[in-house]
Amino acid sequence: MRRFQDVLLACIPFAIIFLAWQLLSLYGGFPEKLVPNLGQIGQTFVRLASEGILWGAAKSTLYRLLLGFLISGLVGVMIGILMGRHKAVEDVLLPLISFVYPIPGIAYAPLFVLWFGLGDMPAILLIAFASTFIVIMNTWKGVKSVKQVWIKSAEIMGAKSTDIFWRIVLPGALPFILSGLRLGLASAWRILVAVEMLMSVKVGLGWMIFGSQTFLNTDVMLATIALIGLIGVILEKQIFEQIERRTVIRWGMVKG
């Protein structure tokens, strides 16, 4: 019953938005080409999916996303841990990272095009570069948040540095690391859709949105946007929530 109520509450905002859109399309005075109704968007979604167009674009986009995010996750977590554990590394890297961190990732797109050309490679590298700093900052904060009294107590009891890291530092920082990875993935997702519009990739969801705008196919554009949202929810629910349940929630570090 509780589960059903949670699902019902989660559906209410979507129902309101769908109703508002339907009313806007029917009575807003806009051309149907620009504001298609929900039925037309749904039909377009089904048609593109059945023809394999949506899935082919999604496959290409997810390939770029996951490869870029894998790079950013590995590099970001390692650098963040080094900064949190070693004051000298923190002193050297923190000013540079603090300078680069606020700059929108899309601002680097022209540079990456000049350096690496067009296609998949610059898109993957830009995703990795832009989302790395979010992971670094959250990992660093997580490591710094581990209470020194825990570490000192373990040292007094004769624990080795590797044991301290794996049994105290990493579990203590894990909620921050997972939060950084989640934000990094969201940032990579947003940047990728824009990057695909700019870097002349052969196929992808961002490429579909850009092409739809060119030919005023608003229904195709909105169907693609809907798929992007669905993929984002699936990645969130099936990856990060599952990891959290098996780690920090199970350990009692955060509430489920």
CA-CA distance, 68 to 75, in Å (whole number)?
11
Task: Please indicate, yes or no, if residue 98 is contained in any of the structural domains.
Answer: yes
CB neighbour list of residue 28: distance below 8 Å, 6 or more residues apart: 35
Give the angle 206-211-214 at the CA atoms, nearest 5°: 135
User: What pLDDT, on the 0 to 100 scale, is given for residue 110?
Assistant: 83
Q: What is the pLDDT of residues 36-78, one digit of tens each?
A: 988 899 999 999 999 988 999 899 889 988 899 999 999 999 9
Domain coverage including residue 72 = 51-246
CA-CA distance, 190 to 58, in Å (whole number)?
14
- Tokens representing residue 144 in the block: 């710094």
User: What pLDDT, on the 0 to 100 scale, is given for residue 253?
Assistant: 63
Task: Please indicate, yes or no, if residue 117 is contained in any of the structural domains.
Answer: yes
CA-CA distance, 26 to 46, in Å (whole number)?
22
Task: Please indicate, yes or no, if residue 30 is contained in any of the structural domains.
Answer: no
Task: Please indicate, yes or no, if residue 137 is contained in any of the structural domains.
Answer: yes
Task: Please indicate, yes or no, if residue 198 is contained in any of the structural domains.
Answer: yes
Task: Please indicate, yes or no, if residue 32 is contained in any of the structural domains.
Answer: no
Query: How many Cα atoms are found within 13 Å in the side-chain-facing hemisphere of 138?
Result: 22
CA-CA distance, 83 to 65, in Å (whole number)?
26
Residues (pLDDT < 50) of the chain are none
Q: How many residues does the chain have?
A: 256
CB 244 within 8 A of CB 178: yes
Q: What's the CATH code of the domain at 146? A: 1.10.3720.10
User: What pLDDT, on the 0 to 100 scale, is given for residue 255?
Assistant: 62
Instruction: Give the residue among 128, 133, 131 at the shortest CA–CA distance from 93.
Output: 133
Total domains in the chain come to 1
Phi first, then psi, for residue 253 (nearest 5°) are -80, -30
